[in-house]
Structure 1
Amino acid sequence: MTRKKKTVDYINELCSSELLEKRRLGKKLEKQYAKWTESLSLKDFSAFIETIKKNKAEIGVAQFFGKFRAYAFEEYVYRLLQAKVHVKKPLQLFWGEKCRVWGENGTYYSMEFDVSIGRKVNGSVEPVVVVDAKVELDAARLKTALASFAILKKWNSEVKCFLVYATREIDSLLLEIAKNWMDGTFQLDFKNDETKAFIRRVKKSLSFHHT
Structure 2
Amino acid sequence: MLHRPLPNDNKCIYNVFIFIKTLTYKMLSSEEKNFRDYIREIEEKNLRLKVEELYSRLEEDPSYKNLKKLMNLLEENRDLLGVAQYYGKMRATLLELYVYLFFKKLVDEKYIVAWRPRVKLNREVYYKPDVAIFGEKGLQVVVECKVELDASRLKTALGDKMLLDASLKNVKYIIIYYKRELSDSLFNLAIKCVDGIFSVDELSRLRVLLTSPRR
Q: Quickly name the TM-score band, shorter chain normalised.
A: 0.7 to 0.9
Task: Please tell me the root mean square deviation across aligned C-alpha atoms, in Å.
Answer: 2.0
1:90-169 correspondence to structure 2 within 5 Å: 92-101=112-121, 103=122, 107-118=123-134, 127-169=139-181
Contiguous gaps of at least 5 residues in structure 2: 1-30
The 2-side partners of 1:195 and 1:160 are apart by: 15
1:74-89 correspondence to structure 2 within 5 Å: 74-88=96-110
Structure 2 counterpart of 1:197: 205
Structure 1 counterpart of 2:36: 8
Q: Alpha-carbon deviation of 1:203?
A: 2.4
Structure 1: which amino acid aligns with 2:59? T
Q: Alpha-carbon deviation of 1:100?
A: 2.2
Structure 2: which amino acid aligns with 1:187? S
The 1-side partners of 2:144 and 2:99 are apart by: 10
Structure 2 counterpart of 1:123: none
The 2-side partners of 1:172 and 1:149 are apart by: 21
Structure 1 counterpart of 2:48: 26
The 2-side partners of 1:167 and 1:4 are apart by: 23
Q: How many pairs align?
A: 184
Q: Alpha-carbon deviation of 1:37?
A: 1.2
Greater fraction of residues in strand: 1
Higher Cα radius of gyration: 2
Structure 2: which amino acid aligns with 1:8? R
Q: Alpha-carbon deviation of 1:87?
A: 4.4
TM-score, normalised on structure 2?
Answer: 0.79
Aligned to 2:32, the other structure's residue is in SS state coil
Q: Alpha-carbon deviation of 1:65?
A: 0.6
The 2-side partners of 1:62 and 1:140 are apart by: 17
The 2-side partners of 1:110 and 1:31 are apart by: 36
Q: Higher mean Cα deviation, 67-76 or 78-87? A: 78-87
CA contact (8 A) 2:63 2:102 kept: no
The 1-side partners of 2:32 and 2:155 are apart by: 26
Greater fraction of residues in helix: 2
Structure 1: which amino acid aligns with 2:120? R
CA contact (8 A) 1:100 1:127 kept: no
Aligned to 2:108, the other structure's residue is in SS state coil
